[in-house]
């Protein structure tokens, strides 16, 4: 099983402003970035997101996920009609969730959203990270990374730079 992250951040490591705004980040989503995202998502079997990301995505004009989505939440009790039947809400720890997904035949999982990524990193369950940094300091907001109990070492696989200033680096966990 491979657990992957593909995410954009500011130069100072934020994935959104405190109010959720990502306009400063979306400005850099040119054709090249969209193509990289689509190539990446074509390799995954399922998405795992948290309630915060789920509620944000429900307000998007169209549903962005083309594979089944598992929402980790202890408070959600039902799936809004708009998201049905592509969404399953589960209340599980990261390790238990992966065990569950493996049992269902999933093998390549995309983990998205700040809080969920931090939980998976803390449990050392992330195998690959593709991080796209845009050349802006926003000074505060929702951080990509959080506290860890141990250092996590990665292998740098490659870095791609775009003419708009986005720097996208691909890392694999060294175990």
Confirm or reject binding of residue 29 to a copy of itself (CB under 8 A): no
Task: State the minimum distance, in angstroms, from the CB of residue 148 to a copy of itself.
Answer: 3
Please give the angle made by the CA atoms of 69, 37 and 58, to the nearest 5 degrees: 40
**Separation CA 21–CA 32 (nearest Å):** 22
Closest of 4, 8, 35, 31 to residue 110, by C-alpha: 4
Look-up: residue for tokens 């190539």?
39
Among 13, 51, 55, 108, binds a copy of itself (CB under 8 A): 13
Confirm or reject binding of residue 30 to a copy of itself (CB under 8 A): no
Return the SS3 of 110.
Answer: strand
Confirm or reject binding of residue 18 to a copy of itself (CB under 8 A): no
Confirm or reject binding of residue 52 to a copy of itself (CB under 8 A): no
Residues counted in the chain: 175
By DSSP bridging, strand 128-134 and strand 46-50 are unpaired
State which of positions 117-156 bind a copy of itself (CB under 8 A). Answer: 121, 131, 133, 135-140, 144-156
Q: Which residues bind a copy of itself (CB under 8 A)?
A: 11-13, 24, 121, 131, 133, 135-140, 144-156, 158-159, 161, 165-167, 169, 171
């Amino acid at each position: 099983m491979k657990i992957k992250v593909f995410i954009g951040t500011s130069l100072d490591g934020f994935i959104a402003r405190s109010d959720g705004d990502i306009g400063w980040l979306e400005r850099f989503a040119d054709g090249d970035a969209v193509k990289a995202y689509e190539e990446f998502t074509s390799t995954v079997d399922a998405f795992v997101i948290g309630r915060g990301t789920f509620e944000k995505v429900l307000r998007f004009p169209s549903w962005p996920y083309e594979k089944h989505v598992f929402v980790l939440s202890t408070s959600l009790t039902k799936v809004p009609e708009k998201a049905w039947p592509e969404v399953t809400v589960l209340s599980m720890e990261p390790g238990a969730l992966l065990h569950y997904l493996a049992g269902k035949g999933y093998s390549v999982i995309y983990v998205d959203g700040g809080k969920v990524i931090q939980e998976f990193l803390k449990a050392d369950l992330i195998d690959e990270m593709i991080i796209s940094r845009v050349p802006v300091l926003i000074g505060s907001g929702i951080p990509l990374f959080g506290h860890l109990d141990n250092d996590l070492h990665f292998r740098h696989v490659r870095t791609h730079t775009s003419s708009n200033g986005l720097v996208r680096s691909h890392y694999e966990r060294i175990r």
